[in-house]
Structure 1
Amino acid sequence: MSVKLLGLCLLLGVLCLSWADDKMCLTSASSCDECIQSGPECAWCTAPNSNIRCQTLKELRRAGCRKRHMYNPQGRLQVVKNDSSTEPSIATAMFIQPQELSLRLRPGVSQPFPLTITMPTDQPITELTMDTSPLPAGLNLTFSSILKGNPMVVQVNVEAARCPSERDDSTQRQNRTGPWSVLITPRGFSLLSVKTEITLECQCDCTKNREKNSPGCSNRGDLVCGQCECQQPYVGQQCQRDSDSFISPNEDFCRSGPNAPVCSGRGKCVEGFCECERRVNPKERYSGRYCECSNFDCPYQNSRICGGRGKCECGECICDDDWTGEDCGCSMETASCMATNQNLCSNKGMCQCGKCICEPPHTGPTCEDCPMCHGTCRQHVDCVECRAFGTGAKKDRCDQECGYLTVTLVETQDDMPQPGESIAFCKMRSSDDCVLYYTFSRTPSGGEAAVVRAKECPRGL
């Protein structure tokens, strides 16, 4: 019975977590401010005529919102004053760094910062105190020691549960975003403190850039954070409809240009607003002010739209993370391009779609091969000599250093493989002043060489 109850609890926990993820952002938010206040992961799309406004960054991107149109404040920490102590380590005065900070805080996101406290040699470890009376409810500061001793390092964590609302007391209604000043003081040292100024990121900066009588709002409203705030009596996404009139305006409101078809030939004009026709396939749809966009007219790869690795938005693939290209068929993964020297494509090419495009004359999966490059023959001659003849500079450590090389002895040069793009022809001098003839090519296990059995040696050798 207990096992069944445990399983039920786990299932309910998973369902609750899944529900919480789905409800993370207030998709019905009517303003940017309302959106970013609904959760620390929520962002606002400022693109005009967007069909989606409030969602996570990932969902906005999948919906076609460009990065430049995503508003997602993360907060920031600025050190305003950080004077250094000029006193020696045995000084009798206490010193603390930094002395002043400015913090912009996104509710729901913890912001840590360290304080370094240098104490007099005869002073025991001190405690920090602070006056939090100016702070609104839900804004908390906590301390944790990360390095004991002298100097001592204390980490301060600042976190706001939410933005103050209109239901809070009158003082907070007058100042809902700050700044608020907090003094952090070592106990017993009232004249020594750290001033921390805290401002909450509860309002969108884009609200300050109001475009009056915007053409994007049919010159009948203001464009704020990408959406229209219409003048009375106009309504609609572009303020294109008169709520007091039941007479359909001219169909020119539904044309993208003077001679363009009404609603791009994909819908009908209703009171100056295009209502796009529905497709037989419910997953396919037209969208846009003039029904000019679709979510199915995109390149296919492997018989799947956008390769199954992205979303089609207005005829363009918006690729998932780690994929790019017109059809999302190009992987941004680079592990397959990493050479044995830990450089992408051996620094001799470019990694494109998970494959190395090598600069001539370099070849191979990671551009490590270069049979025609100067130095290829010299690089392997000592191993060729010790593997083929048991002589040379590496004869005593041949197995350890030259185990990568497979050697085949041939009778004449005519018996060697023909040199080509991946096979180098080598004529090198051996340790006994003779001439070796051999070919070299790379293999998955290392390399292989075809060596002429007889050396060419000077007379008398």
Structure 2
Amino acid sequence: MLCPRMTRVTVWLTAAAVVCGLAQALSEWSIPDCSPDTTSCYANRSEPACSGRGVCVCGHCTCNERENYDERVSGPFCECTNFLCDRFNGQLCGGPAHGTCVCNKCVCNPGWTGHDCMCEQSKENCFNPESGVECSGHGACECNQCKCYESQDGRYSGRYCEDCPTCKGHCASYKECVQCQVFRTGKYTDEQCMTHCTMFNATVVSNLVEEEGDKLCSYFDENDCRFTFVYRFDENRHPLVYVLSTLQCPPPKGTEILHQTSLSHSASSSVSVVMALLSLIPLIR
């Protein structure tokens, strides 16, 4: 009985073959037309032959099989796998709903991005519902979430970067323009006011109503009169300034003296009346 000729590469991988029921050692060089050159099994010399995931036989890589049949090693240099991708919460590429592992990199499904396919491409959750501005103009939308900026004024926070607890605000920088535009007081002349105060045109109101997100500002002018204003920003981040029309000023000095004199005179008159009544008591008796 003739033994059939063994020609499949699988017998080379273990350096042994079963010949007619007997184990017989083989080598690459004993196989016809098999080259001992292994240089073609290297993707580059900085990595092992067949990327360390296979065996170089006759100048070609034969990739290893995995115990898990769902895991695959592939490529001319066994350089690709479907299991060595980034994971999120233990799942490859965030799970099948988000992406697939292809040659060690995640290929994300539509609507997802990122190295692990866990970043939403949508910006729906980044728009401030009140202003309609993305991250309130104080941040960038990443993975459908606002990443707030940190500025010289302070650090913004909140779901839409709408808050800034540490910010100094713009009260001080708007103060002089409010004075010159509304009350024609302060350090700016009319000409300087027109030159330096182009960022906003203050709106005068008789009743100052604070809305959510408004910044309230209050200062004393050179006459010790208090003026009050609020500011907010529109959808284009332009300031809107509303100024209370009335000033809260101390009473004039002359009026205060007159009031004090009047009180003194009234007190003196009252004492005189009491003394006169007391002098009449002996007569009554």
Instruction: Report the TM-score, using the length of structure 1 for normalisation.
Output: 0.30
Structure of higher RCO (CA pairs closer than 8 Å, 6+ residues apart): 1
Higher alpha-carbon Rg: 2
Bigger share in helix: 2
Bigger share in strand: 1
Instruction: Report the TM-score, using the length of structure 2 for normalisation.
Output: 0.46
